[in-house]
Amino acid sequence: MPPQIALAAAAAAIGGSLTGATLGSILLKVALSVVLSAVTRALTPKPSTPDPTSQNTQTGINVAVQRSDDSHKHVYGITRHAGMFYPLGLSGDNKYLYAVSVIAAHEIDGIVEYWLGDVCITPDQLDANGLVTTGDFANKVRIRPHLGSPNQTADTLLISEVQGLNSNFRFRGLAYVYWRFEYDANKFSSGLPNPSVVMRGKPIIDPRDNMRRFTGNLGLFKYEYLCNEDAGFGAAVDRFEETQNTAQLNICDEMVTTADVVHMVNAATPAADTLALDGDMLKFPPFARVQLTTTGTLPAGLSPATDYWVIVHQFKKNSVVGPRVRLAATLLDALQGQAVDFTDAGTGTHTITQNAEPRYYGGGVLDTARAIGDNLQDMLSGDAGRLVFAGGKIRILPAAWSEPVNSLNAKSDFVAPFSIDTRLPIEESFNAIGGIFYSQLNNWQPVDYPEYSVLNDITKDGGIKQKKDYPLPYTQSTTTAQRVSKIEYKRARQEIAVQGAAKMLAFRNQCGDNITLNSEPDGFVDKAFEVTRLGLSIENDAFGKPALRVPIILRETAEEIFDHESTEDALIDPAPNSVLPDPFTVARPQNLSYSSRLVNTTDGDTLYTLVLGFDQSIDNNVLASPGQVELFYRETGTTVYKPLHPVPGDSTQADMVTATPGASYDLAARFKNTIGKLSSLSEMPGCIVGSSGSTIGTHLDYESVTGSPATFLDYGAVNTAPTTFLDYEAVL
Which one has a higher pLDDT value, 404 or 720? Answer: 404
Per-residue confidence (pLDDT) for residue 584, from 0 to 100: 72
Per-residue confidence (pLDDT) for residue 331, from 0 to 100: 97
Q: Which residues contact 426 (CB under 8 A, 6 or more apart)?
A: none
Q: Distances from the Cα of 501 to the Cαs of 407, 412, 539, 603, in angstroms?
A: 15, 12, 10, 113
Element (H, E) at 195: strand 195-200
Q: Where are the domains of the chain?
A: 78-199, 255-358, 593-728
What is the phi/psi pair of residue 527, to 5°?
A: -75, 135
Q: CA-based Rg of the chain, rounded to a whole angstrom? A: 34
Per-residue confidence (pLDDT) for residue 65, from 0 to 100: 63
The rounded mean pLDDT for the chain is 84
Which is it for strands 593-600 and 546-556: parallel, antiparallel or unpaired? unpaired
pLDDT digits (tens, 9 = 90+) for 2-27: 333 233 333 333 222 222 223 233 23
pLDDT digits (tens, 9 = 90+) for 133-145: 999 899 999 999 9
Over residues 654-671, the mean pLDDT reads 94
* Integer Cα distance of 608 and 603 in angstroms: 14
Per-residue confidence (pLDDT) for residue 570, from 0 to 100: 59
Per-residue confidence (pLDDT) for residue 243, from 0 to 100: 85
pLDDT digits (tens, 9 = 90+) for 182-227: 998 888 877 889 999 999 999 999 999 999 999 999 999 999 999 9
* Integer Cα distance of 372 and 726 in angstroms: 89
Which one has a higher pLDDT value, 351 or 18? Answer: 351
Please give the share of the chain, as a percent, with pLDDT higher than 70.
83
Q: Which residues contact 33 (CB under 8 A, 6 or more apart)?
A: 390, 534, 535, 536
Q: Does the pLDDT at position 726 exceed 50? A: no
* Integer Cα distance of 559 and 554 in angstroms: 16
* Integer Cα distance of 107 and 173 in angstroms: 6
Q: Does the pLDDT at position 60 exceed 60? A: no
Per-residue confidence (pLDDT) for residue 429, from 0 to 100: 87
**Cβ count near 680 (within 10 Å):** 15
Element (H, E) at 665: strand 664-672
Burial of 319 (0-12, 13-18, 19+ CB in 10 A): middle
By three-state DSSP, how is residue 442 classified?
helix
Please give the share of the chain, as a percent, with pLDDT higher than 90.
67
Q: Does the pLDDT at position 513 exceed 50? A: yes
Over residues 616-629, the mean pLDDT reads 92
As a three-state string, the secondary structure of 393-422 is EEEEECCCCCCCCEEEECCCCECCCCEEEC
Per-residue confidence (pLDDT) for residue 391, from 0 to 100: 79
Per-residue confidence (pLDDT) for residue 66, from 0 to 100: 62
Contact call for residues 225 and 218 (beta carbons, < 8 A): no
Over residues 686-711, the mean pLDDT reads 55
Q: What is the CATH number of domain 593-728?
A: 2.60.40.10
**Which of 254-268, 299-313, 591-605 is predicted with the least confidence, judged by mean pLDDT?**
591-605
Contact call for residues 486 and 564 (beta carbons, < 8 A): yes
Over residues 334-341, the mean pLDDT reads 97
Sign of the torsion angle spanned by Cα atoms 286, 292, 295, 300: positive
By three-state DSSP, how is residue 427 classified?
helix
The length of the chain in residues reads 732
Per-residue confidence (pLDDT) for residue 423, from 0 to 100: 83
Which is it for strands 84-90 and 204-206: parallel, antiparallel or unpaired? unpaired
- Per-residue pLDDT band for 70 (boundaries 50, 70, 90) equals confident
pLDDT digits (tens, 9 = 90+) for 150-187: 999 999 999 999 999 999 999 999 999 999 999 988 88
H helix runs in 542-684, sequence order: 620-623
Which is it for strands 524-534 and 419-421: parallel, antiparallel or unpaired? unpaired
Q: Does the pLDDT at position 296 exceed 50? A: yes
Sign of the torsion angle spanned by Cα atoms 518, 523, 526, 528: negative
Per-residue confidence (pLDDT) for residue 605, from 0 to 100: 79
H helix runs in 176-241, sequence order: 218-227
Strand ranges inside 240-392, DSSP E: 255-269, 274-277, 289-294, 308-314, 324-328, 350-358, 364-367, 386-390
